Amino acid sequence: MILLTGNDLASGDVIWWTGSGWSRHVGEAVDAGSEADAILARESAARNVNAGYSVEAEATASGPLPLHIKERIRASGPTVRTDLAINADIPIVKA
């Protein structure tokens, strides 16, 4: 599974491709598959995302979970202040 992520141009928030737009919640992300590069090119050109890139993920019962720890931290939110987390239920360290 390939997810697309980047940052919102206005707020700097981490955002994820939903298939029709961008969301702050990785749980709303969809598999971009073989269209990932084309979607990123189009969305970057339209200035809908800053520094967009693709990441590998796996489908889980609670939604997509990025495979790399960096992306799980980006999806979850600050690790030092879980009260500010977007989704504190995302496991930072994979079991």
Residue with tokens 């969809």, as numbered in its chain? 30
Residue with tokens 């520094």, as numbered in its chain? 51
Rounded to an integer, what distance in angstroms lies between the CA atom of residue 14 and that of residue 49?
10
Q: Is the pLDDT reported for residue 86 higher than 90?
A: no
Rounded to an integer, what distance in angstroms lies between the CA atom of residue 19 and that of residue 22?
8
Is 95 within a domain? no
Is 69 within a domain? yes
Q: Domain range spanning residue 49?
A: 2-84
Q: How many domains does the chain have?
A: 1
pLDDT digits 0-9 by tens, 7-55: 999 999 999 999 999 999 999 999 999 999 999 999 999 999 999 999 9
Please tell me the pTM assigned to this model: 0.86
Rounded to an integer, what distance in angstroms lies between the CA atom of residue 52 and that of residue 15?
9
Is 11 within a domain? yes
Rounded to an integer, what distance in angstroms lies between the CA atom of residue 1 and that of residue 31?
5
Q: Cα 24 vs. chain centroid, distance in angstroms? A: 7
Is 94 within a domain? no
Is 92 within a domain? no
Question: What confidence score (pLDDT) does residue 62 get?
Answer: 85
Is 43 within a domain? yes
Is 59 within a domain? yes
